[in-house]
Structure 1
């Protein structure tokens, strides 16, 4: 079966316990656009918020499930342990040092990771994040920041960068990435205080928006997720026809999986890699403008057609979230 390579990172979905504070941090401080305010389709009692570039182009979405009673995250192995946010230049990182300090956001200063300038920081719930410079990127192109963002467009977030996986058995994850998902292992790099070296895998055009960084830690307990942890990472598939091929391919590989899942804004397939991390394959389309105009994306509660008959119940269950000015 002839399957097109995965195109890169599609989105990362994480957990928050406070949607209103989450909205403030990612729109008012980080300057991302809320492109969709909807609910978790598997549990409609909680919000699912999508922050991205101006229109939620694939590869730019950082999403959050609000779980109000989510406990503390106990960080450990077999987890998605770092999410990167791409910015256009090295100089943009200087802007972000000043902005993070302005808003009392803890950060680790500018450093270098695998030949790129980075700036690691955490959100108000301890979410592990870093800005990564696209100054020398030659792979997957970034998106376009929203022109109404409080952050100048030339400094803004243009997409998702490398995602780090921390695992106890790296070789089994590597086999799935390479032999099943078609990634290429391209290099490794040292990080202060960490051995062995972190392994880098890329797919599609490669570059900042198409990498998984694999870190071995077998000296830690398994991560206990809560607020500030990552739920899953999704990878880009060209279209629904290609996704159907991936459903067959993943099933033939022997990996238990969800089969085809309709998400309305994209179509998906879910499975867990060998260390238990949840992967999703998601189509580039249809996108977020099928039920809202570009100008007002994210301002109202959007529901896919198959949940529309539950709107009254859903709106009565979730607490109001003011997004008109987000």
Structure 2
């Protein structure tokens, strides 16, 4: 079996307040809350999934709620920026005006890696970048949620490039290219004087929805992960059969990994690359409409079957949102 990752599946970050998080990502950014569930490894906290109208793989930005966590300190061994795709260059102008209206901390529109982009921060300092699909080819985007007040022609259609910041880029590059099948696409100048170019890698059909941007920095300490940081990035695998083949390949490489994990909405494998960043491989299905009708996604607390018998206790420990 030829193993080939399809692109970015999801990115999971950390918030300190679920209610505020839902408000920003649904009302300000116009994304759909496609699943309101709990962290399966710690059911005392929410796990919130945002995406396109269906929460398709490649559109999902997720958050764990850890109210008592400290604030993150940016640094190496980190996922230092998450991109969100918008349909074209005109959308960036729309969002620039919207961010001013909603008092969202943002920068100017600039080119990164051959695309126009708009960097901004959520209320907790989460580092995000809107990236234009104006000239993008490769992995297709999704369809914006039609019940958002953001016009569809400007709406967020999925995840774009994920930036990794590391002390030793060669170590991460070997895992990406020799183990995971990524290919080097190009590079562009760092925004920090004296630092190496940021290197672009892509997989599968290529394009924004598949890219990893690898930044090497020797002027930073290691990141202190907390509120405002990203927990892990997940890559798309077609199905369970292919995931199990990946488990064998990664185990044979000598990297310690989780083995097969059933998340109900998808199946997973977790491992850390040599600079300490947590990677996940996740299947495209079964999907978020497995236990809820498509038109009611995210409206109630959804629990996978193995947690359903504990619903009363779990709900008692959560603050309603």
TM-score by length of 1: 0.97
Give 1:151's aligned residue.
150
SS of corresponding position for 1:76: coil
- C-alpha offsets along residues 258-278 of structure 1, whole Å, 9 cap, x if unaligned? 000000000000000000000
- SS of alignment partner, residue 90 of structure 2: helix
1:96-125 Cα shifts (integer Å, max 9, x gaps): 000011110010110000110000000000
CA–CA distance in 2 between the matches of 1:37 and 1:150? Answer: 21
Tell me if 1:118 matches 2:120.
Answer: no
Kindly indicate whether the alpha-carbon contact (under 8 Å) linking 2:3 and 2:246 is maintained by their aligned counterparts in 1: no
Local SS of the residue matching 1:143: coil
The aligned counterpart of 2:61 is 62
Instruction: Name the residue aligned to 2:300.
Output: 300
Cα distance in structure 1, aligned partners of 2:21 and 2:84:
16
Q: How many residues align?
A: 320
Give the alignment of 1:251-266 within 5 angstroms: 251-266=251-266
Alignment gaps of 5+ in structure 2: none
Distance in 2 separating the partners of 1:132 and 1:74 = 24
Q: d(CA) in 1 for partners of 2:2 and 2:270?
A: 17
- 1:208-255 deviations in Å (ceiling 9; x for gaps): 000000000122110001111000000000000000000000000110
Q: Could you say what secondary structure the match of 2:184 adopts?
A: strand
Distance in 2 of aligned mates of 1:164 and 1:37: 26
Partner of 2:205: 205
8 Å CA contact retained: 2:49, 2:62: yes
Contact kept in structure 1, 2:146 and 2:152, CA below 8 Å:
yes
Question: In the TM superposition, what whole-angstrom CA distance separates every residue of 1:37-95 from its partner, at most 9, and x where no partner exists?
Answer: 00000000000000000000000000000001111111111100000000000000000
Match of 2:271 in 1: 271
Shift of 1:4: 2.8
Q: Name the CA distance, whole Å, in 1 between partners of 2:177 and 2:45.
A: 35
TM-score, reference length from structure 2? 0.99
What is the CA distance between 1:3 and its match in structure 2? 3.0
- 1: CA distance, partners of 2:137 / 2:66: 38
How far the C-alpha of 1:150 sits from its partner, in A, is: 1.5
CA distance in 2 between partners of 1:205 and 1:172 (Å): 24
Once the two structures are superposed, the pairs formed by residues 74-153 of structure 1 within 5 Å of their partners are 74-153=73-152
Cα distance in 2 for partners of 1:262, 1:311 equals 19
CA distance in 1, matches of 2:141, 2:179: 26
**Are the aligned partners of 2:107 and 2:120 in contact in 1 as well (CA < 8 Å)?**
yes
Partner of 1:23, secondary structure, is helix
The correspondence of residues 159-308 of structure 1 with structure 2, limited to 5 A, is 159-194=158-193, 195-308=195-308
Aligned partner of residue 85 in structure 2, secondary structure: strand
* 1:192, distance to aligned residue in structure 2 (A): 3.1
